[in-house]
Amino acid sequence: MSNIKNETGPAMPARGSLGRRGFMAGAAAAGAGAVLGGRPFGGAARAAAHGAHGLDGVLADAVAKNDVPFAVAMWGDAAGVRWTGTAGDRAEGAPATLDTMFRIYSMTKAVGSTAAMILIDRGKLDVDTPVESILPQFADMQVLDGFDGDTPVLRAPRSKATIRHLTTHTSGLVYDVWNAEMQKFMQVTKHPSAVSGQKQGLMTPMVFDPGARWDYGIGIDWLGQVVEAVDGRRIDAFCQAEIFDKLGMTDTVFEVDGDRAARLCTVYLRGEDGNFAPFELAPPSRPEFYGMGHALYSTAPDYMRFLRMFLNRGQLDGQRVLSEGAVDAMLANHIGDIRIGRMTTYLPPISADVDLFPGTDKTHSFAFLRVEQDVPGMRGAGSQGWAGVCNTHYWFDPARDVAGLIMTQSLPFVEPPFMRVYAAYERAVYAAKG
């Protein structure tokens, strides 16, 4: 696999050798299908691209080779869904289905950024507004400037964090999974993480001054608090009324119960023996605050509707979420000359090193990782995407009118076997599109 590369660090521990508290903190950071709508495919080439040696084959082979425990995937365009597929069992004795419920973790982030862009679109918020002017407690945030032994050395930031910094991961607020300083801070202070659902978990220090560089973190958890403060509704109520209801995302929720709980898949952790075993993991239920970095559950069809809204420049099926101008602004590069580089893991059971499309310039839009050049055989320049830590992945390519999803529930994040499958799947999507 030449275009998406990830390499693991030390060997994965066997199931149960990592404490649940540490695992939960780190994990936040991060079959044949039917055409559901739109015009039908035509031609033998497209049929082959979807058959045993194409998209269906990618999923079936992935499960057979133990690259993934199961998979649900689909791709579509502005007009509709073009292909769907499932393979394997989402839980013991329960085959994966299109309506499988997933813990989507960091796929939540794009929803949080969209919530903020809705307020910007309505003139209620500005991308360059200092965070502390809306949330006064943010003025207390400091920068971690190393350690004196095990005592953190803190100083005032030299620049003020803005809404843009929060949503583009340039605020200095980072996850400990891919940052050694933050990992040490969390270990020596026993500070709660943002995934704990405690508001105190938001108060971890920055590790660099806002705007200095890109480093993945909890900025969008803070962004959700901004939306609440500006709009007056809780973030779950805002998202329901302004995004989910409008887009017909009936299975995207902050709490999973009833029929949805019955459709919820199992999380699997790969052990030292190379096999997957169940691992209990979920965002906290009914927390002090819903973190827009990690809190949502959803399905592949629901999230595809969210992606297709962007391909349709802010609306879907006659329901407008964002103006066309807001979509254009949202998908532009928001970090200037800063580039996204390799994310080195410090918690290998949770994540491998993240090195997406090495050799391709990567920036960040208001909500997504963005590639600045065409990737041969795959997504084109200006494409947007990201993922959830349990290997739920998506992208959309506005220039080529493509959106794709491939979702499982496995750890480590972006381990090489999964990423080989993802690359093969993306290539098969573009081959099917023709």
pLDDT(238) > 80: yes
pLDDT(28) > 50: no
Q: What is the residue type of 302?
A: D
Angle, alpha carbons 299-305-310 (nearest 5°): 135
pLDDT of amino acid 21: 40
Above pLDDT 70, what percent of the chain?
88
pLDDT of amino acid 4: 32
Average pLDDT over residues 404-431: 98
Average pLDDT over residues 95-118: 98
pLDDT of amino acid 111: 98
Average pLDDT over residues 67-73: 98
What is the rounded distance in angstroms from the CA atom of residue 268 to the CA atom of residue 410?
A: 5
pLDDT(420) > 60: yes
Largest separation between any pair of C-alpha atoms in the chain = 67
343 three-class SS:
strand
Res. 27 pLDDT band, cuts 50 70 90: very low
Res. 50 pLDDT band, cuts 50 70 90: low
CB-based contact 425:55 (threshold 8 Å): yes
Average pLDDT over residues 331-341: 98
User: In order of start, what are the domains of the chain with their CATH numbers?
Assistant: 4-122+229-433 (3.40.710.10), 131-223 (no CATH)
**Residue 64 vs residues 71, 103, 277, 385: alpha-carbon distances, Å:** 11, 23, 16, 27
Report the DSSP pairing between strands 410-411 and 268-270: parallel
pLDDT of amino acid 49: 59
pLDDT(14) > 80: no
Average pLDDT over residues 388-396: 98
pLDDT of amino acid 51: 60
Q: Which residues are catalytic?
A: 106, 109, 216
Res. 19 pLDDT band, cuts 50 70 90: very low
pLDDT of amino acid 12: 32
pLDDT of amino acid 241: 98
Average pLDDT over residues 4-22: 34
Res. 53 pLDDT band, cuts 50 70 90: low
At which residue do the structure tokens 């480590």 appear? 412
**Residue 375 vs residues 154, 362, 383, 405: alpha-carbon distances, Å:** 42, 11, 10, 17
Element (H, E) at 44: helix 44-50
pLDDT(10) > 70: no
94-127 per-residue burial string, b: 16 or more CB within 10 A, e: under 16 = eebebebbbbbbbbbbbbbbbbbbbbbbeeebeb
What is the rounded distance in angstroms from the CA atom of residue 276 to the CA atom of residue 80?
A: 34
Res. 330 pLDDT band, cuts 50 70 90: very high
Element (H, E) at 247: helix 245-247
Among 11-15, 44-48, 339-343, 368-372, where is mean pLDDT lowest? 11-15
How many alpha carbons lie under 13 Å from residue 256 in its C-beta half-sphere? 21
Res. 231 pLDDT band, cuts 50 70 90: very high
What is the rounded distance in angstroms from the CA atom of residue 70 to the CA atom of residue 88?
A: 4
